[in-house]
Amino acid sequence: EPIEFDSELDWAENFVHMIGIEDPTGNFKKLMQIYFMLHCDHEGGNVSAFAAYTVASALSDPYYAVSAGLNGLAGPLHGLANQACLQFVLDVLDHFKVVPSKEELTQFSKDRLNSGQVIPGYGHAVLRCPDPRFTAFMEFGKNHIHDDDVFDIVKLLFDVVPPVLQEQGKAKNPWPNVDAASGSLLYHYGLKEFEFYTVLFSVSRAMGMVAQMVINRALGIPITRPKSVTYDWLKSNT
């Protein structure tokens, strides 16, 4: 039977209530309040936010615009990143059977990079420092999650991976993004169905998309029309 909406709870609290996961401490509700807020947007150039922005700029129905954004989020390079990060952490745990030492994880990371693989969640096209959303999740985890091998590995990766990437020249910007931490927190609180993680991302991002539409229409922002440039322009401006 569906669990009824509770009008006394906020959006994130109702989400936890309605999926039926026990939360005796209330910390999972606190996590989802942070999660939904941090994932609602992340600068205008990401696939889902920009796709929704573009469609909404034509004065399309908000449902159509959000649908366009979520179709972009369905792409594995955009919407499946936190699953890939969590799977990597679980692979580390499966390999060592326990939380490895810093030296062991450093060598493991180097071996992975030397084999041509990447370390999910690290290296970013935009960031020049650790993702502030990652920092917020880590702070939550340090305050509320203890004696958890998965989160302990996430913390250790943050100490190990950036120096390894810099040493090997594998990433100009070796900093972690939000996906490097978010999945481990969901996993800790019992949400272990990986295929559901993008749904959470979608629930959150939809809020940001619609907020963007409201302000853009209030300001009368015109239709999006990126300019094309000629080859001659490129030669003269590069």
SS3 assignment, position 176: strand
Confidence of residue 78 (pLDDT cuts 50, 70, 90): confident
The model's pLDDT over 41-60, given as tens digits with 9 standing for 90+, comes to 777 688 999 999 999 999 99
Q: Per-residue pLDDT for 235 more than 80?
A: yes
Residue 26's closest CA among 17, 18, 36? 17
1 vs 122, which has greater pLDDT? 122
**Alpha-carbon span 73 to 1, nearest angstrom:** 30
- At residue 105, the pLDDT reads 98
Q: Which residue has the tokens 């969590």?
A: 86
| pLDDT at residue 1 greater than cutoff 90 | no
Query: Quick count: other Cβ atoms within 10 Å of Cβ 65?
Result: 24
- Please tell me which residue in 42, 124, 131, 152 is annotated as part of the active site: 124
User: Is residue 211 a contact partner of residue 43, using CB atoms and an 8 Å limit?
Assistant: no
User: Quick one: what percent of the chain has pLDDT higher than 90?
Assistant: 84
**SS3 of 191, please?**
coil
pLDDT of residue 76 exceeding 90? no
Residues 6+ apart with CB under 8 A from 221: 57
Phi first, then psi, for residue 118 (nearest 5°) are -105, 170
CATH class label, 87-188 = mainly alpha
Quick check: is 78 catalytic? yes
**Is-catalytic flag, 91?**
no
- Long-range (24+ apart) CB contacts under 8 A made by 159-162 are 159/102, 160/102, 160/105, 160/106, 160/109, 161/109, 161/119, 161/122, 162/122
The single residue of 41, 131, 152, 179 carrying the catalytic annotation is 179
Identify residue 134 by its one-letter amino acid code: F
In three-state secondary structure terms, 91 is helix
Decide if pLDDT at 222 tops 90. yes
Q: What is the mean pLDDT of residues 63-87?
A: 92
What is the reported pLDDT for 117?
94
Question: In this predicted structure, what is the pLDDT of residue 179?
Answer: 93
The predicted pLDDT at position 169 comes to: 82
- In the residue annotation, 131 being an active-site residue is answered as no
Kindly report the average pLDDT of the chain as a whole number.
93
Mean pLDDT (whole number) for 171-192: 93
Catalytic one among 78, 144, 148, 149? 78
- What is the maximum alpha-carbon separation in the chain? 65
**Does the pLDDT value for residue 170 go beyond 80?**
no
Rounded average pLDDT over 102-108: 98
